[in-house]
Amino acid sequence: MTQIAAFVRSRPTIPPVLLAAVVLLLLSGCAVLDRQGDKSSPADGETQSTRAQLNAGYSDLYSNASGLAKVDTLLYVKFESDDVERVVTEMTDYCAALAQRLEALAADYPALDLHQQVDPPIIKAARDAQKKANLKRFAPVVGDSGTAFERGLLIRLLGAADQQHYMAATLAEREPNPALSKIMAETGERFAGFYDEIDRLLKARFYR
């Protein structure tokens, strides 16, 4: 997992309005692969259908990690509590590193596709509508602030951590490539840890 840390501080600075769209769209380690031969085809014992299903999961994991990586950049000015800022920063830094690690893996293993269309059009339309509604709530200046902001953000990050945990764990179970399976298992465990940490913070700070 120490290799992931090298990616953490490489994120570009993006205007807050653009980051808000990315964040709210989704608020909804590291083994090295052998570089031998052409890996654009599925591995032995793996069908095209199996790889396509796995790639749908990788695409979802990657998309969510890429968006979550930008949460603290967007919302830093609204933090009022050190413990909330710390857990948000830890999770978003990890997501930034994970997104870049997945990109590196895709370069080593061309059969791994991070850009499959995951949602049917009607699901995408519903999520876009939710994004627009939530954007007003979290927009700088006019959105929630203080306790209400921090509680709402942690609730959404809790759900995101849970989703990422189970997606990575499921990929680990079904991935026939041992190196990828190991990475996904460790990723699932890391997100499970974030879930527990955020859950404890919510209970201690907001639900006493």
- Residues 78-100 have pLDDT tens digits of 677 889 889 989 999 999 999 99
**pLDDT given at position 22:** 40
Which DSSP symbol is given to 83? H
Show the low-confidence residues of the chain (pLDDT under 50): 1-41, 44, 141-142
Within-domain flag for 35: no
**pLDDT given at position 43:** 54
* Residue 198, number of CB atoms within 10 A of its CB: 24
d(CA 100, CA 55): 16
**pLDDT given at position 67:** 85
Q: HSE (CB half, 13 Å, CA atoms) of 160?
A: 27
pTM value > 0.85: no
Within-domain flag for 5: no
Burial class (CB in 10 A: 0-12, 13-18, 19+), 119: middle
Query: What is the CATH number for 119?
Result: 1.20.1260
Residues in CB range of 123: below 8 A, 6 or more apart:
none
Within-domain flag for 1: no
**pLDDT given at position 74:** 61
d(CA 173, CA 196): 22
Question: Residue 21 in contact with residue 114, Cβ under 8 Å?
Answer: no
Both tokens of residue 131? 């994004």
Within-domain flag for 34: no
Within-domain flag for 37: no
Which DSSP symbol is given to 111? T
Question: Residue 43 in contact with residue 177, Cβ under 8 Å?
Answer: yes
Distance from the Cα of residue 107 to its chain's centroid: 19
Within-domain flag for 178: yes
Both tokens of residue 208? 């006493």
Domain that includes residue 169, residue range: 15-26+46-206
**pLDDT given at position 136:** 63
Total domains in the chain come to 1
Within-domain flag for 8: no
Question: Residue 191 in contact with residue 87, Cβ under 8 Å?
Answer: no
Both tokens of residue 137? 């709530």
Q: Which amino acid is at 143?
A: G
Q: What is the pLDDT of residues 103-124, one digit of tens each?
A: 999 999 999 999 988 778 888 7
Within-domain flag for 9: no
